[in-house]
């Protein structure tokens, strides 16, 4: 296998190859691929995000982060319909990500649930026909992150311009990689297949409704850094295949958040101040080696807490991260249980009537 091909692989695939290796030389080859892959991704992220933030303003860094993630994901996963409709959908997705977070700041609270639900369901339906490919987690992250970091006025104009640049980049990748796929499938064909008896559509509905409710609750009750609560809830609801049992993901998310927050707290205290700005990239590097969900969540805490520490202080950021995660996973667990019971009643009713 060429080294370049190894760099394109997910760490889980590379680790399986390491387990199957017979010699130390082969193992070292794949471990080197994992390490180089992680370094390249973090380095490229720093350059890409810093460049866009420098041009369009630091307040628009969240969109730069979202565009970087979209750019990586769109190389491998398309929208499951023809390229023309996919490019229109991509433009619509970016418009939602730019406009809805700002709209959520000014609309009356009573309109927040329908606003979030409509926007988020549209995102999922346009981008995620196969949730197992990861698009659901990618675009839910982008929506929640940008909703937690809205901008207005001139910053909103600059965010729109950044989205245009992102569209040109992601659209070019989408066209280059996927233009020959799903040529006969139009988006209206996808819409015509909507059926809540199908697990994917039930998953989309649950995800959209749950995220819209938790985000609305966070905004209405003034929860500090409510997007952390949204991330935690979405992580439970994004699990696919669809299942009413989210207790395993509940434990994994909570354990990962607590472990990652505590590790950050200790490392922040024992390292010199000059090292602190590097803790975010360090988490990104370590994330490249992780395949277990709990470890991924722990490493994700580093970047989030690095930003949070500048706002709330070290202790405040760590406690807030854990508290928001706890609120989010509890909400997600309760919501998923209730939704599953209601959905089971609704979907089984016709069969019961026939019997």
Pick the closest to residue 281 from 45, 64, 10 (CA basis).
Answer: 45
What pLDDT, on a 0 to 100 scale, did the predictor assign at position 22?
83
How far, in Å, CA of 223 to CA of 226, rounded?
5
What burial letters (b/e) apply to 148-168, b meaning 16+ CB within 10 Å?
bbbbeeebbebbbebbeebbe
How far, in Å, CA of 244 to CA of 340, rounded?
5
What pLDDT, on a 0 to 100 scale, did the predictor assign at position 8?
86
What pLDDT, on a 0 to 100 scale, did the predictor assign at position 351?
42
What pLDDT, on a 0 to 100 scale, did the predictor assign at position 4?
84
Largest CA distance in the chain: 71
Tokens 């989010």 correspond to what residue?
A: 328
Pick the closest to residue 309 from 318, 301, 297, 300 (CA basis).
Answer: 318
Question: Please, where are the H alpha helices in the chain?
Answer: 3-7, 11-20, 24-56, 61-74, 83-106, 112-127, 135-147, 154-178, 187-192, 199-220, 226-237, 247-270, 279-287, 293-312, 314-354
What pLDDT, on a 0 to 100 scale, did the predictor assign at position 355?
36
Query: With left for phi above 0 and alpha for psi between -120 and 50, is residue 150 left, alpha or beta?
Result: beta
How far, in Å, CA of 207 to CA of 185, rounded?
25
This prediction's pTM? 0.93
Full pLDDT tens readout for the chain, 355 residues: 788 888 888 898 899 999 999 888 999 999 999 999 999 999 999 999 999 999 999 999 999 999 999 999 999 999 999 999 999 999 999 999 999 999 999 999 999 999 999 999 999 999 999 999 989 999 999 999 999 999 999 999 999 999 999 999 999 999 999 999 999 999 999 999 999 889 999 999 999 999 999 999 999 999 999 999 999 999 999 989 888 889 999 999 999 999 999 999 999 999 999 999 999 999 999 999 998 899 999 999 999 999 999 999 999 999 999 999 999 999 999 999 999 998 877 664 544 444 3
How far, in Å, CA of 113 to CA of 207, rounded?
13
């Amino acid at each position: 296998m060429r080294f370049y091909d190894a760099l394109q692989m997910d760490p889980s695939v590379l680790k399986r190859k390491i387990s199957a290796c017979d010699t130390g030389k082969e193992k070292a080859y794949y471990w080197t691929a994992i390490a180089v892959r992680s370094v390249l991704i973090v380095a490229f992220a720093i350059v890409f995000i810093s460049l866009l933030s420098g041009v369009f303003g630091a307040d628009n860094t969240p969109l730069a982060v979202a565009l970087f993630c979209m750019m990586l994901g769109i190389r491998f996963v398309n929208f499951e319909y023809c390229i023309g409709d996919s490019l229109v959908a991509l433009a619509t997705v970016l418009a939602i990500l730019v406009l809805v977070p700002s709209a959520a700041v000014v609309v009356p609270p009573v309109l927040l649930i329908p606003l979030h639900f409509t926007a988020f369901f549209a995102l999922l339906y346009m981008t995620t026909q196969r949730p197992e490919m990861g698009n659901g987690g990618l675009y839910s992250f982008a929506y929640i992150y940008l909703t937690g970091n809205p901008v207005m006025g001139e910053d909103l104009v600059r965010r729109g311009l950044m989205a245009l640049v992102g569209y040109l980049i992601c659209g070019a990748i989408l066209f280059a990689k996927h233009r020959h796929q799903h040529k006969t499938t139009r988006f209206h064909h996808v819409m015509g297949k909507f059926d809540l008896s199908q697990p994917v559509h039930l998953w989309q509905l649950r995800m959209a409704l749950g995220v819209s409710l938790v985000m609305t609750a966070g905004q209405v009750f003034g929860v500090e850094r409510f997007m952390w609560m949204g991330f935690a809830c979405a992580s439970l609801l994004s699990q696919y295949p669809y299942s009413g049992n989210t207790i395993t993901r509940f434990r994994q998310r909570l354990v990962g958040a607590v472990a990652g927050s505590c590790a950050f707290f200790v490392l922040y205290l024992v390292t010199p101040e000059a090292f602190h700005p590097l803790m975010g990239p360090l988490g990104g590097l370590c994330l490249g080696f992780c395949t277990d969900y709990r470890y991924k969540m722990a490493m994700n805490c580093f970047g989030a807490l690095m930003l949070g520490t500048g706002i709330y202080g070290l202790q405040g950021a760590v406690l807030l991260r854990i508290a928001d995660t706890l609120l989010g996973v509890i909400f997600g667990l309760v919501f998923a249980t209730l939704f599953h019971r209601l959905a089971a009643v609704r979907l089984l009713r016709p069969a019961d009537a026939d019997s």
